[in-house]
Amino acid sequence: QSAAPAKAAQCFTCHGADGIAKMPDAPNLAGQNESYLVKALEDFRSGRRENEVMTLMAKPLSDEDIRQLAAYYNGIAIEVKKK
């Protein structure tokens, strides 16, 4: 994994540094689609999408922060376990 962006620490509480959710209602982010993550963060920042926690988290993020956070979590490689 690439080094986590400065503002990633606040994400780890719920989403984990490894992108596997640590809170029941938080989604896993490991290996998630980068454009999906960018859109989610932009929508939480603009208010187009609402969530008590994420609206607060996203408000102060710059476009560059959003780009780096999306790249960080997308960069965590996952694989589907063979049956």
Q: What does the block give as tokens for 47?
A: 């208010």
Distance CA 79, CA 18 (A): 13
Q: 74 CB contacts (<8 Å, ≥6 apart)?
A: 31, 32, 33, 34, 37
Amino acid symbol at 37: L
Binding characters for a copy of itself, 6-35, by CB under 8 A (x = yes): ------------xxxx--xxxxx-xxxx-x
Under the binding rule (CB under 8 A), the answer on residue 2 touching a copy of itself is: no
Binding characters for a copy of itself, 34-63, by CB under 8 A (x = yes): -xx--x--------xxx-------------
Residues within the interface to a copy of itself (CB under 8 A): 1, 18-21, 24-28, 30-33, 35-36, 39, 48-50, 76-81, 83
